[in-house]
Structures are given as C-alpha cells and as structure tokens.
Amino acid sequence: MVIAAVCAAAIVRLTKPIIDKVLIEHNQEMLIIITFFIIVIYTIKGFAEYFQGYIIKYVGQQILTDLQMQMYQHLLYTDFLFIQSQSSGRLISRFTNDIVLMRGAVSNLLIGCAKHLLSVIFLISIMFSLDPFLASCVFLAFPAAIYPIQKMGRRMRVVTAQAQEELSNFTAKLDESFYSIKIIKSFCTEKKEVVKAKDITAKILNFYKKAAKLDSIASPIMEILSGLTIVSLIWYGNYAIASDRMTTGTLFTFITAFVSAYRPFKSLVSLNVNLQEGIAAANRVFNILDLKPTIIDSIAAKSFEFNNPQIEFQNIEMKFGNDKIAIKDFNLKINSGSTYAFVGSSGSGKTSVTNMLIRMFDPTNGSILINGCDIKLITLESLRKQIALISQDTILFDATVAENIAYGCENVSMQQIVAAAKHASAHQFIEMLPQQYDTILGTDGRTLSGGQRQRISIARAFLKDAPILILDEATSALDPNSETAILESITLLRKNKTTLVISHRLSSVENADQIIVMKNGQIIEQGTHSELLSLHHEYHKLYNKELKEINKHV
C-alpha cells in the first residue's frame, strides 16, 4: 500500500526533469535514465496495487464474515421470546442488506486509509518540496469544502437508516408472501399483495433518491473548487515563469501533483458519505449484538442426569412484557414415568407450562424442580438434551432423511437411525423415497405429507430417547386415520418416560394418568378422564362440545 503510493508520487516527481531536461534541454542521457525508471516504477506499482487490492478485499470480507457468524451465533443463543417477536425477514435483512452496506464502507475505508490517504500525503509532500508558499495557499481553500460535506454525511446516515428499515420490511414481506403462497392463491389476493409490495418499494426508492442527491452533492463542490485552483495556478505560474521565479517543469510538476492528489482527496471527502451509510447499517447490526440473553447458565449450574424424572412446579407465575399474566398460582407435581395431559381453550397457558420447563423463558416467580433440583441450577445443554419435543409445527431441515432423524444426536449409526424410523412407522415410506435415507427433504420437508413429516419427528424423539417427553399438539393437524397410526407410535415412545401432553382433542388424552384442565393461566380441574367427567364442570363441557363436533361430521 505504501509502495503503490510512493510509486504514484515518484511518477509525478519525474515530470519536472522530463520537461526541463528532456523536452527543453534535449538531454539524451537523462532520457535513458528516466525511461528506465518509468518502466521499473510502473512494474512495481502494478504488482503493489495487485497485492493491495487483494489484501484489502480479503481483509474487509474476513471482518464482515466474522461479524456475520458472530451475529448468527448470538441470535441462536439469544432469548426465545425475542426471536419469536421478530419477523424472520427483518432479521435476515441484517445479514444481507446491512452487511452489504458495511462491506462497502469497510472496503472504502481500507482503500481510503491505505491508498488514497498515503497518495495524498506523498503528493502534498512533492508540492511543498517544489514551492512551500504556493502549496500552502492551495490547501487553505480545501477545508471550506469539508464542513458542508460532513453535514451532508450526517444527513446521509439518517436517510440510509430509514432506507434499510424499509428494506427490512420488504424482506419480511417476501418471506411472508412465499410462506403464505397457498393462502394468497386460494383467496386470489395476488394483486393486493403486489400493491402492498409496491408501496414498500416506492418508499425505498424515495429514500435512495434522497441518498443519491446527498452522495452526489460533493462532486460539484469539489469540481468547482478544483477548477478555480487550477486556473489560479496557471495565472500564478505564468507570472512566476516570466519573472524566472519558477521553471516550466516545476509548474507542470506542481499542477500534475495537484491533479493527481485531487482525485484521492475527493475520494477521501466522499468517503464520509459512504462511512455514514456503513455506520447506519452497523448500528442496526450492533443493536442485535448488544442484546443480552437472560436465559443463560447460572454460575452454580451443573450437568445433571435425570433418572426416573419427577417434575414439580412450585408457585409459578408468569408475566410477559406488557404485564399480561400468562400463568398464575400454578402448582403441580408430575410423577416419574406418568403421562400428564394439559387441556383447555387457546390461550389458557398450556404451552407456556412446557416452554418454562424447557427454559424457553423463565417464570416471573416460583420454581420448577426435577428430582428436587431447581432447573436453573442445571445447565441448559444438560436440561434440554434430556427432553424430547414433538410439536404441531413439525420442523424439518434442508438435509437428508437420516440427518433429520439424527438431528441433535451425536455418534449414531445408520442402524440406530433405521431402528428409530421403524419404531415411528416411518421406515416403509422412507424406503420408497428416491434415495431412501439419503433423500434431501428440502426446506421444511414440504415434499412430504403432514403424517410423513410427523413420523420423522417421532423417529427423531425415539433416537434421542430422552427421559422427559413433551407432545405439543403432536397430532392436531392430522386426519383421523393418520392420527390413529401415529398415536400407536407415540404410545410406544411414551413407555418409561415422564410425558407432558398438550392437546385440544380430548379423545387423544383419555388414557393419561392425570388430565390438567387450564383456564386463564390457572389449573381449575385435575384428575383422570372418568373422574373429571363425573364432576360435570369444565372438562365435561369441553368433552361434550367435542362429541357434538364429531357427530356433526359423521
């Protein structure tokens, strides 16, 4: 970087002897020397700029790659409630739009500092060596251009931040549209969605229009100032040469040095505008990195192995950010190896109970114990590795069938994977796939039916073989035939496990050891299926309501 700048300055410095010695005095010896130096200097300069460009681009990309991975890792470890409250499109925008702006800012900053700044310094040195007084006069004018450009740079940061926010909204809109494409098509709302997208892109275009004006305004200021300076140099040089105070070569070298310094100097001034764009993007990225997760291991937390786990909820109260109480006065002991089912209307707090057990979030008050040990004193990894979750929203990854079944499990053999699939009644349909267990399922496994996806999820739980099992509406999205088949696999899976079942379908929990009826975040009834029916209260109402719904469709 220094070498390239020195070479550029050396080439300019050769202008004086070229004019004074070669062109005016016709010095042939000097012509040979200068020819040799020009070839050598340009060769060195070419290789220096090659390595400079490579290093700057590599270092800039390495910095941002590390930042991307740091942000990705940070988001994976941040609180579940934060991720749940954010649009995935807006988060993805941090990795794409914001990082692209930061990449441009970092590259320009490195080039500006390494190349342009050094070039300006060496060229200014040449100008001062030729005529210190004239050089001082020339550069007195340039600070006048810096203030308005800096002011525009601050405005650019605001406009860029607004544009990036709208880009996040557009990314979120794309994510929502592609995820909901079936609904959009079935309701014939394509035109309506296009209009919404156009509104967002119009805002983005407007912000970039403002940004383009701010970015370009520096050019006329610098060009006018440069033109006035060159004219002044020509007038002064004409007078100085006529009075023998300066040679023609000195004047041309001075003007050449000024013109050569002007371009990198202009780039340095414009760098402020690019820097403001990068700062706006960096603020959005570092807002993510500054988030402090609250669900973390305590200093006293230790690994803990559950043998015949007994779970106890003591005086649990859970409030969310808006002080809305989700769970209150919740006390429950779940015996080892038993199945407890949680039923109730939507919003009654059923899923919140299991989310607290996995420590997706912690209760505001109260404690959760496993075998008498507070789960906050158990490391998150140790706790979660001993809990298997099967939910209504079956999550499959863009990987092979085998990799999906073995997800989260280490050092498992193909025989173990196949055995788990057989237990989940998934082996038969997997064998019919194009590459069997090596078939890539694609994003979320959408090429499979709901029942097939759920069977792979159950196979994953079989392979994990955790002592605690959570079934969160595991069969609610399935048709009766698929549900019956999968319930058989789940019955086998529940053997010798402490199981928590969440279900709207009361018919699927009739055989539970205990049924917990919840309403408004509280337990209002508890007992076996027959005991609760005999009470003729909430459970009885829910059960009769379900029977009526079934009879309607018979």
DSSP strand pairing (387-391 vs 339-343): unpaired
Tell whether 296 is covered by a domain. Answer: no
Residue 362 shares a structural domain with residue 393: no
Does 153 share its domain with 228?
yes
Q: How many CA atoms lie within 13 A of 189 on its CB side?
A: 12
- Which amino acid appears at position 261 of this protein? A
Alpha carbons 228 and 145: distance in angstroms, whole number = 13
| 86 domain residue, yes or no | yes
Last residue within a domain, chosen from 441, 465, 489: 465
Cα–Cα distance, 252 to 258 (Å, whole number): 10
| Phi, psi of 49, rounded to the nearest 5 degrees | -70, -30
Same domain for 442 and 539, yes or no, is no
Residue indicated by tokens 């550069």: 139
Q: Measured between alpha carbons, how far is 347 from 332 in angstroms, rounded to an integer? A: 19
Angle among Cα 209, 215, 217 to the nearest 5 degrees reads 100
Angle between helices 132-140 and 218-242 (to 10 degrees): 150
Torsional sign, CA 109, 115, 117, 120: negative
Residue 144: what residue type?
A
Token pair 């499959």 in the structure block, residue:
396
Whether residue 486 lies inside any domain: the answer is no
**Other C-beta atoms within 10 Å of 284: how many?**
20
- Beta-carbon count within 10 A of 1 CB: 20
Domains contained in the chain, number: 3
Domain interval for residue 536? 304-384+466-474+499-554
C-alpha distances in Å from residue 234, one per residue of 220, 230, 455? 21, 6, 84
User: Do 11 and 159 fall within a single domain?
Assistant: yes
Q: Do 449 and 531 belong to one domain? A: no
| Whether 392 and 365 share a structural domain | no
Comparing CA positions, the residue from 214, 216, 254, 219 lying closest to residue 237 is: 254
Alpha-carbon span 255 to 10, nearest angstrom: 15
What SS3 state is found at 379? Answer: coil
Q: Taking a C-beta distance cutoff of 8 angstroms, is the pair 222, 281 a contact? A: no
Residue 196 lies in a domain: yes
Phi (first) and psi of residue 517, to 5 degrees: -95, 125
**141 and 86 belong to one structural domain:** yes
Assess whether 404 and 519 both reside in one domain: no
**Residue 97: beta bridge partners?**
none
Angle ∠(20,26,32) on CA atoms, nearest 5? 95
**Same domain flag for 97 and 181:** yes
Long-range contacts, stretch 162-165, CB < 8 angstroms, 24+ apart: 162/207, 163/204, 163/207, 163/208, 163/211, 164/93, 164/97, 164/98, 164/101, 164/280, 164/281, 164/284
Sequence letter at residue 327: I
468-472 β-sheet, strand order? 387-391, 468-472, 498-502, 339-343, 514-519, 522-527
Residues whose CB is less than 8 angstroms from the CB of residue 416 and which lie 6 or more positions away in sequence, other chains included = 463
Query: How far is Cα 383 from Cα 376, in angstroms, rounded to an integer?
Result: 9
Is 353 within the bounds of a domain? yes
In this structure, is residue 523 part of a structural domain?
yes
CATH number of the domain where residue 239 is located: 1.20.1560.10
Give dist(CA 86, CA 75) in Å, integer.
11
Q: Which tokens sit at 150? A: 């800096």
Residue 219 Cα to chain centre, angstroms: 35
| Of the candidates 279, 351, 261, 356, the residue with the CA atom closest to the CA atom of residue 312 | 356
- 285 and 147 in a single domain? The answer is yes
Q: What angle, 0 to 180 degrees and rounded to 10, lies between the N-to-C axes of helices 414-423 and 480-493?
A: 120
Q: Do 250 and 330 reside in the same domain of the chain?
A: no
Is beta strand 311-319 parallel, antiparallel or unpaired with respect to 514-519?
unpaired
pLDDT (tens place) for every residue of the chain, 554 residues total: 566 656 666 666 666 666 766 667 677 777 777 777 778 777 777 777 777 777 777 777 777 778 878 888 888 888 887 877 777 777 777 777 777 777 777 777 766 666 777 777 777 777 787 777 777 777 776 666 666 666 666 677 777 777 777 777 777 777 767 666 656 665 666 777 788 778 888 887 887 777 777 766 666 767 777 777 777 777 877 777 777 777 777 777 777 777 777 777 777 766 766 777 777 777 878 888 888 888 888 888 888 888 888 888 988 888 876 667 788 888 889 888 888 988 887 777 888 888 888 888 888 888 989 888 888 888 888 888 888 888 877 788 888 888 888 888 888 888 888 888 888 888 888 888 888 888 888 777 777 877 788 888 888 888 888 888 888 876 665 556 666 666 777 777 777 888 898 887 777 787 888 888 888 888 888 888 888 888 878 777 877 776 666 555 44
Q: What are phi and psi of 317, to 5 degrees?
A: -135, 135
Chosen domain end from 242, 261, 289: 289
Strands 365-370 and 373-374: antiparallel
On whether residue 490 sits in a domain, the answer given is no
- Please report the pLDDT score of residue 290 as a whole number: 83
Residue 266 placed within a domain:
yes
CATH number, domain of 317, equals 3.40.50.300
* Per-residue pLDDT at 195: 82
Helix (H) or strand (E) holding 468: strand 468-472
Rounded distance, CA 517 to CA 538, Å?
A: 8
> Which among 289, 324, 341 is the end of a domain?
289
The whole-angstrom separation of Cα 10 and Cα 174 is 54
3-state secondary structure of 326: strand
Residues in the chain, total: 554
Same domain as 93, residue 160: yes
Q: What token pair was written down for 252?
A: 């041309």
